[in-house]
Amino acid sequence: MDPAKRASVGGRSETHLEEQVKDWLRYGEDLGLSPYYRDRPPLHAIVESAAGPVESPSVATSSAVSTAAILASAPAMIAAAAPGRASGAPRNVAASASQKSPAATILPATAARSLFEVIERIEGDTLLRIREDIGDCTRCKLHKGRTKIVFGTGNPNADLMFVGEGPGRDEDLSGEPFVGRAGKLLTDMIKAMGLQREDVYIANVVKCRPPENRLPEKDEITTCSPFLMRQIDTIKPKVICTLGSCSAQTLLQTTQGISKFRGEWFDFRGAKLMPTYHPAYLLRNPGAKPEVWKDLQKVMAVLGLQPKKR
């Protein structure tokens, strides 16, 4: 393209500005956004759309304004698209309000959306259809060692949804989530909240048991978690309570340890999200039970629940 046709914005050439836009977009991808941006237009299409055609001087002027506005908003764009990823910190409800930028409204729509909002909601989706889509799944390596796929169980219209990391041995054999010792403790926790297990929905980030009960690996989470997102979109719980670090880190897209943000409220796809410790952790560390009870009491307050009378 003829450099003479490039507009000058604030003393910088448009070519330079385009390079900066590209740098910001690459930066976003370096932060790990790519698995959830499969539907995003190609990088060159976003840049061309932002810059616009430059063949005529009048169009070049308007495109220069658009490019300059996007550049001014680029840090907010990245922060909004990847809450806390640069620092490894999740974005809580209070923080999200303070991050709103008027300039963000002129950004390309796909670039300003949060990670899992990019996974489109499927109109008319049902739990049955999701289970059928999973089928006899071999999409990731976890299928090799599983006995049964552990899809999830509970009230399909639940106000409260618990999300763990993945099935253990008992769950793998039975096909039900949280049925071992940790599952019994979770059931007790649910009853202490004044609910029955059938009142809530329980699912995991991955549906097949990781070998030796190791944590699910990144590729396994990336492959399987869209099914969880569809379950959440279908159930539409008011509150999601994540159990343990894996589910919290997956949904909130952070690498921070759960002890740093446990007990705080977060927004997630229209629900309020409360991260707390995994029941298996409580079995090993009973001293953490009062902290979890505090988290559950916050959930109860939002849902208007009364603790079970002893």
**Please, what sign has the CA dihedral across residues 96, 116, 251, 219?**
negative
**Which stretch in 17-25, 61-69, 112-120, 138-146 sits in contact with ligand SF4 by CB under 6 A?**
138-146
Q: Which of 270, 263, 268 is nearest to 301 (CA)?
A: 263
Closest approach, Cβ 39 to ligand SF4, in A, equals 19
Q: How many CB atoms lie within 10 A of CB 287?
A: 7
**Which stretch in 40-48, 53-61, 94-102, 201-209 sits in contact with ligand SF4 by CB under 6 A?**
201-209
Question: What whole-number distance in Å separates Cα of residue 10 and Cα of residue 64?
Answer: 10
- Does position 131 bind ligand SF4 by CB under 6 A? no
Could you say which of 60, 82, 107, 208 contacts ligand SF4 (CB under 6 A)?
Answer: 208
Q: How many residues bind ligand SF4 (CB under 6 A)?
A: 14
**Amino acid type, 47:** V
Query: Which is nearer to ligand SF4, 203 or 299 (by Cβ)?
Result: 203
- Does position 223 bind ligand SF4 by CB under 6 A? yes
- Does position 139 bind ligand SF4 by CB under 6 A? yes
User: Mind giving me the DSSP string for 238-262?
Assistant: SEEEEESHHHHHHHHT--S-GGGTT
Closest approach, Cβ 209 to ligand SF4, in A, equals 9
Query: Which is nearer to ligand SF4, 225 or 242 (by Cβ)?
Result: 225
Closest approach, Cβ 3 to ligand SF4, in A, equals 49
Q: Which of 210, 203, 139 is nearest to 172 (CA)?
A: 210
- Does position 300 bind ligand SF4 by CB under 6 A? no
CA dist 49 → 21, 54, 102, 216 (Å) = 11, 11, 20, 38
